Amino acid sequence: MAKKVALITLAVVILISTGCSSDKSEELLVNPSWEELKVFLWEDKTDQFPYTPEFTCEKFAKLVQNNAQKEGIRGAIVYIELGSPSNAGHALNAFETSDRGMVYIDCGGLLSEALFWQKSTESEPISYDTIINNFEVGRYYKPVSVFKPASTWGNMGKIVAIDNIEWKWKGW
């Protein structure tokens, strides 16, 4: 129980310290190169939190969006609907890169609290940032690791609908 309280406290501290709105005006945001985006993703630690009923995919996407804007990077929050086996809504991020075009990134974090505490004792850095290739309605949502060692995500279902893409994020 103490670990859970510490984890939630840590998440709240990070959310407060990252702010609730962008530090950069929309006009100052830039579309990064793929390499610049990878540097941002590696340095951003949103993916290190466990997915919980309180800290869901939407909160991950909003935190990544806030952090990207603080770094002067333009990005979007994307809301989708997934078919079987997930049969649920999902949120992720999109970035228009200057050299690879639109890329869809899922920084959804660890799938369990136990992995968070195991990971926090490891010395080698790990990233759970993933890219979604072939992102379109009717295709399977299969996150693939941006970095090595690879994340182990399976098929989350077909993309049934892309509900909304929010480029102008105003904070929480």
Q: What is the CATH number of the domain that holds 120?
A: 3.30.460
Backbone φ, ψ for residue 29 (5° rounding): -75, 145
pLDDT score, position 170: 56
In a domain, 91, yes or no: yes
In a domain, 86, yes or no: yes
Quickly state the pLDDT bin for 7 (edges 50, 70, 90): very low
In a domain, 171, yes or no: no
State yes or no: pLDDT of 53 exceeds 60: yes
Backbone φ, ψ for residue 111 (5° rounding): -85, -10
Average pLDDT over residues 59-77: 95
Backbone φ, ψ for residue 158 (5° rounding): -75, 145
In a domain, 172, yes or no: no
In a domain, 39, yes or no: yes
Name the average pLDDT for the chain.
Answer: 79
Average pLDDT over residues 85-97: 94
Number of domains in the chain: 1
Total length of the chain? 172
- Sheet bearing 76-85, strands edge to edge: 143-145, 130-132, 101-106, 88-97, 76-85, 157-166
CA distance 159 to 115: 27
State yes or no: pLDDT of 91 exceeds 80: yes
